[in-house]
């Protein structure tokens, strides 16, 4: 147990656990700040095995408060990046990094598929409404199927109430007849958009623009 240390931070409501995982079988000897817990609610009861479950719940904090910060009387791999319950933290970081990388890839694809008018504003809007990116990317194949593979798609911000931008508008730059554009838009609506419009939460509009 000497390889672990608990550190009380500014108050009893703000705990952090600093752990050095034992070298050898269950860890690599590295030191990690694994988390901070607020004081548990008063109506909670003592958990006989604080490290057995619920690492983000109250069990650890409850144990620390009830024992005055003493360690539990058993060897528990408090932090093991290779497999203990605490490894979820490092896994969370990995997942977040992966999510971020995937999102950047989606934005790269968006720039390849749509001409962004005032690109930084459009991207900023889409970062605030993350679910829209997937809808816009999914729409590309459907738009091209209806309007033609060589269609140029433009994306720009719009406003439905004349105020701040609150929708993103995907326009097909159309060089043929108005009737053909209407027919293509009807086909797009019926074949795909009607079934997916809810995914956009009213924040995406598709239309054509005569070029």
Partner 1 sequence: MPEKVTIPISFFEYSADYARPIFAALMDRAAIVQRIFDALLPWKLEIDNVEPITTGKPSEQGVKFKIPGKKVTFLFGAGSCKFTKDDADWASAEETISILSAALGALKASTCAEISEQNVAVALHIQPKKAKFIDILKPFLSPAILDLEGEAVKTGASILKWDKRRVVLDGSGALANALFLKFERGFDGGASFLEIADQLKADEDALFKMLNVEEEL
Q: Is the backbone of residue 184 left (phi > 0), alpha (psi -120 to 50) or beta? A: alpha
82-101 residues in contact with partner 1 (CB under 8 A) are none
Closest separation between CB of residue 101 and partner 1, Å?
Answer: 17
211 contacts partner 1 (rule: CB under 8 A): yes
Q: Which residue among 1, 5, 30, 115 contacts partner 1 (CB under 8 A)?
A: 115
Whole-number CA gyration radius for the chain: 27
For partner 1, which residue of 7, 94, 108, 127 counts as binding (CB under 8 A)?
108
- From the CB of 154, what's the least distance to partner 1, in Å? 8
Question: Applying CB under 8 A, does 173 fall inside the site for partner 1?
Answer: yes
**Least distance CB 120 / partner 1 (angstroms):** 9
Q: How far is the CB of 134 from partner 1 (least distance, A)?
A: 18
User: Which of the stretches 11-19, 23-31, 78-86, 150-158 binds partner 1 when contact is defined by CB under 8 A?
Assistant: 150-158
Phi, psi at residue 117, to the nearest 5°?
Answer: -90, 125
**Contacts by 117-122 with C-beta closer than 8 Å and gap 24+?**
117/154, 117/155, 117/156, 118/156, 118/157, 121/157, 121/165, 122/155, 122/156, 122/157, 122/168
Residue range at the interface with partner 1 (CB under 8 A); choices 9-17, 44-52, 124-132, 148-156? 148-156
Contact between 114 and partner 1 by CB under 8 A: the answer reads yes
Cβ burial 163-175 (10 Å sphere, 16+ → b, else e): eebebbbbbbebe
Task: Please work out the total of residues on this chain that contact partner 1, with binding judged by CB under 8 A.
Answer: 13
Determine phi and psi for 24, rounding to 5 degrees.
115, -135
Residue 153 interacting with partner 1 (CB under 8 A): yes
Is 168 one of the binding residues for partner 1 (CB under 8 A)?
A: no
208 belongs to the binding site for partner 1 (CB under 8 A): no
Of 116 and 135, the one with the shorter C-beta distance to partner 1 is 116
Q: Could you tell me which residues come within 8 angstroms of residue 88 by beta carbon, excluding any fewer than 6 positions away?
A: 55
How many Cβ atoms sit within 10 Å of the Cβ of residue 1? 13
**Separation of alpha carbons 172 and 191, rounded Å:** 17
Q: Which is nearer to partner 1, 65 or 156 (CB)?
A: 156
Cβ distance 87 to 78 under 8 Å? no
Binding site for partner 1 (CB under 8 A): 108, 111-116, 119, 150, 152-153, 173, 211
């Amino acid at each position: 147990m000497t390889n672990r240390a608990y550190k009380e931070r500014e108050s009893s409501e703000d705990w952090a656990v600093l752990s050095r995982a034992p070298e050898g079988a269950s860890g690599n000897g590295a030191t990690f700040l694994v988390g901070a817990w607020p004081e548990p609610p008063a109506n909670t009861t003592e958990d006989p095995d604080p490290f057995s479950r619920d690492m983000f719940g109250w069990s650890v904090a409850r144990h620390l408060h009830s024992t005055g910060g003493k360690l539990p009387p058993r060897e528990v791999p408090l932090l093991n990046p290779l497999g203990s319950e605490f490894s979820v933290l490092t896994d969370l970081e990995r997942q977040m990094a992966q999510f971020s990388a995937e999102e950047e890839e989606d934005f790269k694809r968006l720039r390849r598929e749509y001409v962004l008018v005032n690109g930084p504003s459009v991207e900023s809007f889409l970062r605030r409404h993350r679910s829209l990116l997937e809808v816009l990317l999914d729409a590309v194949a459907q738009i091209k199927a209806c309007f033609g593979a060589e269609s140029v798609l433009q994306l720009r911000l719009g406003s439905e109430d004349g105020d701040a931008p609150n929708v993103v508008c995907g326009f097909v730059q159309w060089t043929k007849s108005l009737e053909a554009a209407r027919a293509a838009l009807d086909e797009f609506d019926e074949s795909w958009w009607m079934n997916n419009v809810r995914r956009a939460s009213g924040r995406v509009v598709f239309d054509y623009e005569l070029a």
